[in-house]
Amino acid sequence: MSELANERYGVGARALSAKDVLATFMQTHGIAHVDVSAHRVVHGGEILDTSRLLDRKVEAEIDRLGQLAPLHNPVSLHWIRAIREVWGGDVRQVAVFDTAFFADLPPVAKIYPIPHALSQKYRVRRYGFHGLAHQAMWQKWQSLRPEIAGGGKVVSMQLGSGCSIAAIDNGLPRDTSMGFSPLEGLMMATRSGDVDPGLITFLQRQEGLTPAQLDRMLNEQSGLLGISGASADMRALLESEDELAQLAVEIYCYRARKYLGAYLAVLGGANAVIFGGGVGENLPAIRERILSGMEWCGIGIDHEQNKRADGPLCVSTAAADIEVWVIPVDEAELLAREAVAVLQTAENGIFGGLDDGHSNAG
């Protein structure tokens, strides 16, 4: 619910009356009554590693994790509390965590090479994000290719304003590009992705930047916007003849291709590469540029199929060893399924929150 409200009405909706926003939502969708509300919550940390029925302890943990996801968790909490206030406490609320899909990453993929005592003290690890999107892409692909035993090996690419890539082996993530925060990994619309940590301390000294200013620079002023100096909109950059705009697109695609090659090595090959997200689903030129030069590993793209990709569609050539798919990401369907699973577990006598110390089966 929190994600839908923010996408439909904008983050500025927090400044509006929650009652008005929720009333508009119900009127728009023709809803007379709500029994359950499911929320995509970006950061669940190590404790909230499965979907949960919201209770006071779950809510407190989401609040605490706001320090790790300051742009996201507080927004989710706003809508959780608004729904309780406006629709009443009888509406059951379920939190589905974007980090949960990556909760069991192998140690080699999740541990940072910093002093281990600091990692333990501050719960520092690579959490991974966009878990719902990657899980949804893999599940949809599996349903389209049921003859591949176990679900196969897949590299999924979620390319939108935020971007990430995941290596998935038989439904289990083996690695992902986002780490401790959603800032790590691929170049994004306004986020830098990977940079040398030494660059951060250098700029801090040279420019006298505060931690808050550094956060803003790396999260809001970098990526496509930072390099082009003009726009974070990939469509606008593709149409531009400006050299920096073209360079921004080239770096974006180069970095995605580099991660793709690395994850093919992690998996020892793959059955499929999947593109999802606003950029991944809707811009054929970006898919082609990312896959350019990947013929060596058995990837070949059918240019005509790629141009008309609409809905789940295989856009690789018939001779390709690795399939290439465009799969629209349906997080709402996954949220609904997770909410049903949590409520069924609760009805079977296992509480889905944290108040009694039990986890759910979501």
Residue 205 resides in a domain: yes
Identify the pLDDT of residue 14.
Answer: 47
Query: What CATH number does residue 185 fall under?
Result: 3.30.420.40
Residues 197, 78 within the same domain: no
Cβ neighbors of 204 (< 8 A, separation 6 or more) are 214
> CB-side exposure of 131: number of CA atoms within 13 Å?
32
98 is catalytic: yes
- Which pLDDT value is given to residue 352? 58
> ∠ CA(63), CA(64), CA(69), 5° rounding?
80
* Shared-domain flag, residues 277 and 312: yes
Instruction: Please report whether residue 361 resides in a domain.
Output: no
The reply to whether 141 and 18 lie within a common domain is no
- In tens, the pLDDT along 216-251 reads 999 999 999 999 999 999 999 999 999 999 999 999
pLDDT tens profile 325-353:
999 999 999 999 999 999 998 887 655 56
Please say whether the beta carbons of 158 and 275 come within 8 A: no
Instruction: Write down the pLDDT at residue 360.
Output: 35
pLDDT, tens digit (0-9, with 9 covering 90-100), for 109-165: 999 999 999 999 999 999 999 999 999 999 999 999 999 988 899 999 999 999 999
Q: What's the pLDDT score for residue 358?
A: 38
Q: Are strands 272-276 and 163-169 parallel, antiparallel or unpaired?
A: unpaired
Q: Is residue 354 assigned to a domain? A: no
**Domain-located, residue 359:** no
What digits encode the pLDDT tens for the residues 12-22? 444 467 778 88
Same domain (yes/no): 88, 202 = no
What per-residue confidence (pLDDT) applies to 133? 97
Query: Residue 167 and residue 163: Cα distance in Å, rounded?
Result: 14
Residue 38 has a pLDDT of 95
Tell whether 286 and 144 lie within a shared domain. Answer: yes
In a domain, 355, yes or no: no
| Count of structural domains, the chain | 2
What is the average pLDDT value for the chain, to the nearest integer?
Answer: 91
What proportions of the chain, in percent to the nearest 5, are helix, strand and coil?
Answer: 50, 15, 35
Q: What is the pTM of this model?
A: 0.89
Residue 104 lies in a domain: no
**pLDDT tens-digit profile of 165-176?**
999 999 999 999
Domain of 173, in residue numbers:
131-326
> Which pLDDT score, from 0 to 100, does residue 11 have?
43
Whether 184 and 293 share a structural domain? yes
- 19 shares its domain with 136: no
168 and 225 within one domain: yes
State the catalytic residue, choosing from 55, 63, 90, 98: 98
